[in-house]
Each structure stands twice: as structure tokens, then as C-alpha cells.
Structure 1
Amino acid sequence: MSTLENRPNSALLVVDVQNDAVARAYERDAVVGVIGELVERARAERVPVVWVRHQDEEMPAGSDGWQIVPELRQAAGEPVVEKEYGDAFEATGLEAVLAERGVGRVFVTGAQTDMCVRSTLHGALTRGYDAVLVSDAHTTEDLSRWGAPKPAEVIAHTNLYWSFQKAPGRTAGTVESKELDFRAD
């Protein structure tokens, strides 16, 4: 259980599923499809969907590359949190958005697995949230020419190590999209 008081709700975080962020992503279309299904399920169950959008020199705000991919549509009233750092909580309004909605558990999806997704998971857990990674709803691009493992290995390793994370009074772990229950403790 989350260590945050009076925060019984869950939210779906969609991290950086933007045109440039996923342009060369591993299994891009499949992952975006899974995220789209989760967004629809969350909406049907009245679970908050929170969109996170990165901006930097290579992906400036307002550019085509900065836009959320066209396959995913933000619904009226769904917040977009703008960020400049890997961790979606760092120097953003994400904490306030989640607090307003009574959220103590986040289900994390998006890109890049080895950057913003990991940073956001760790940021959530250290701030008192239960942080669950949706194992088939995150992706990354091939950075192996710089010494990183191949994308499938990055994803598998992240799923493995996050499945063993925990902290006092908080839970972490992974769940496959088809097994995800937004209401389960």
C-alpha cells in the first residue's frame, strides 16, 4: 500500500509517447496499441489517465516531434504534464495532479524504457507511491551502438528488475496489460 495518506486511487501514466520519442522504438506499433487499449480501459473504469510529455532541444515544445502520437488521443479533462527531466515528477505538476485525484498507485507505460520510464518509476516509488510497470506497454529505441543492450534485452531486464522492487510501506512490480486490474490492491 502506498505511504500517501488518503490516496486510494490508481492512475495510468502515459510517459512520452510522442512522435520523435517513439519514431524508432522497438515494436512501436504493438506497444502503442497496447497503451491505447489501456487508455480506453482506464477511461471506461473512470481511472485517471495522465499524459506526460517531454521537451528539450531535440524535441522542442510545439514541434511535430513533440506531439503525442496520432494513434492516442487525449480526452477532455485529462491532464498533460510537461517535463524537461527523465523523472516525470521532477520540477513538474505531476504530484499535484495525482493528489487532486487521490492517487497513490501509478501504472506506468511509455517510452523510453531505459530513460524516462525507469526514472519515473523510481521517482514514484521514492515519493511514496505504489509504482507498477506495465510489462508489455513500454519501449525504447536501439542504442546498442553506444554500448547499450538491444531493445528487447533492455525491456526484458527492466521488467525483471522492477518485478523485485519494493520499499517500506510501498509496492512495486510488473503486470502484463491483460492482467492489469486498476482496482486491485
Structure 2
Amino acid sequence: MSDIAPVDALLVVDVQSAFFEGQEAIPYADAVKIQIAALIARARLTGAFVAHLQNDGEQGAVDEPGTDGWQLLLPVQPGPREAVVRKATDDGFDGTELNSLLVERGVHALAIGGAQSEMCVLATARTALDHGYRVVLPHDAHGTYDIPPAPGDTEGVPAKQASRVAEWALGDEVEVIAHAKEVEFRAIDPGVS
């Protein structure tokens, strides 16, 4: 039994081919994907809600809608307990039905995993906090790219450190935990109003 209180939902942020496959994948993509797949499996088994956020990149971007890079990598089981939410900005709540889906299902607490830690994961987590959701962020279930040096005499930032800084930037409202296996789920009422 984990010391972390159970959550009602899982937000899977941008687990798309462009960011998790090939030479352009985030470092540790396979490890992150394994953790997220395990979270999805446990959420489904428990009856929690799963939202797969899918970024619609601009024309010519690696995640442009309809391209190979835009495709979700982990299978979706659409229904009252699972949905795909397409987004056009870093924030999964901005201009989408995500908040309505969560409210309709009585979600109060959620876990977030995916890519990129300092962009879409951070922006979505911050807005979730602003909406009053309890947010759990498992460190091994999100990732990003190495940050190159800035112009001048600076050093780059390795991906794992960039992910940790993104967690830190969320302040003490977010519950950062080391491992996705510590996340416990509880069932939601799939009936929608």
C-alpha cells in the first residue's frame, strides 16, 4: 500500500511517435513509455478515468495531424472511462474539453505522465492545480529532451535534470513521487450528466 492517496484519473500527455520513437525520441523514451503503459493498465483495472492528450502540431511540425509523428503510441479504449483529447497548445486544458470530462466524472485527483516535462506536462499540471485538482507527478513517468547550452559560456542541461526542474517549478502544491508504481487509482462513476 502506498502512502500516496489514490487518484481518480490519469492524464497521458503527448505519448506520440514524434516524441517516443526513432532518433528524435526523448532520452529514456522506452522507460517512460513502460511506466505510462503500466499506469494506464492499473487505471483501467481499477476503473479510473484515462485521458490521452494528443498534440496537434502546426503544419510541417513533427506532430502535424495525420502524420506518422502525430500518432498515439499506446492503445486507447474509448468509452466513458477513457478518451482522447486533442490540443493545440502546451496546456491540455486550453481550448479543450478536458476540464468538462473531468468534472462530469467527478474527478478530484489525477496523475500526469508523458512529454515534455517542462512544456506540456508542466503547463497541464499547473492548470490542473489552478482548477483545484490534486496533482500527482511520478518522476519516472515523464521526460523531455536535453537542453542545449545557451549562447555564451553556459552548459547544457541533461534531460533528467530538466524534468526535475520542471517538477520543482510547480511548487509545493504538486505531489512529486519517485515511481509510477506508487500511484494508486480509485474508480470513478462513468455516468456523465
Bin of the TM-score, shorter chain as denominator length: 0.7 to 0.9
Distance 1:121 1:148, change over 3 A: farther
Residue 80 of structure 1: aligned partner: 84
TM-score relative to the length of structure 2 = 0.80
Tell me how far 1:160 sits from its aligned partner: 4.2
Give the distance between the partners of 2:38 and 2:26, measured in 1 at CA. Answer: 19
Q: How many residues get paired?
A: 168
Q: Retained in 2: the 8 A contact 1:9–1:102?
A: no
1:55 aligns with 2:59: no
What secondary structure, in the 3-state scheme, does the structure 1 residue paired with 2:93 have?
A: coil
Tell me how far 1:156 sits from its aligned partner: 2.4
Pick aligned residue for 1:165 from 159, 162, 172: 172
After superposition, where does 1:86-125 map in structure 2 within 5 Å?
86-125=90-129
Give the distance between the partners of 1:9 and 1:141, measured in 2 at CA. Answer: 28
Residue 9 of structure 2: aligned partner: 11
Alpha carbon RMSD of aligned pairs, Å?
1.8
Could you tell which deviates more after superposition, 140-149 or 37-46? 140-149
Residue 189 of structure 2: aligned partner: none
After superposition, where does 1:132-171 map in structure 2 within 5 Å?
132-145=136-149, 149-162=157-170, 164-166=171-173
Read off the aligned partner of 1:32 and give its amino acid letter. Answer: K
TM-score relative to the length of structure 1 = 0.84
Q: Percent identity?
A: 36
Distance 1:9 1:108, change over 3 A: closer
Query: What runs of 5+ residues in structure 1 fail to find an aligned partner?
Result: 1-7, 167-171
- The Cα offsets for residues 71-120 of structure 1, whole Å up to 9 and x where unpaired, read as x1101312100001111001111011111211111100000011000000
What secondary structure, in the 3-state scheme, does the structure 1 residue paired with 2:136 have?
A: strand
Query: What runs of 5+ residues in structure 2 fail to find an aligned partner?
Result: 1-5, 187-193
What secondary structure, in the 3-state scheme, does the structure 2 residue paired with 1:79 have?
A: strand
Give the distance between the partners of 1:88 and 1:13, measured in 2 at CA. Answer: 9
Tell me how far 1:143 sits from its aligned partner: 2.9
Read off the aligned partner of 2:66 and give its amino acid letter. Answer: G
Distance 1:50 1:112, change over 3 A: same
Read off the aligned partner of 1:56 and give its amino acid letter. Answer: G
Q: Retained in 1: the 8 A contact 2:7–2:183?
A: no
Tell me how far 1:134 sits from its aligned partner: 1.5
Q: Retained in 1: the 8 A contact 2:20–2:30?
A: no
| Larger strand fraction of residues | 1
- The Cα offsets for residues 137-170 of structure 1, whole Å up to 9 and x where unpaired, read as 00112232557521011122234454x522xxxx
What secondary structure, in the 3-state scheme, does the structure 2 residue paired with 1:106 have?
A: strand
Q: Retained in 2: the 8 A contact 1:19–1:66?
A: yes
1:180 aligns with 2:173: no
Pick aligned residue for 2:134 from 130, 135, 138: 130
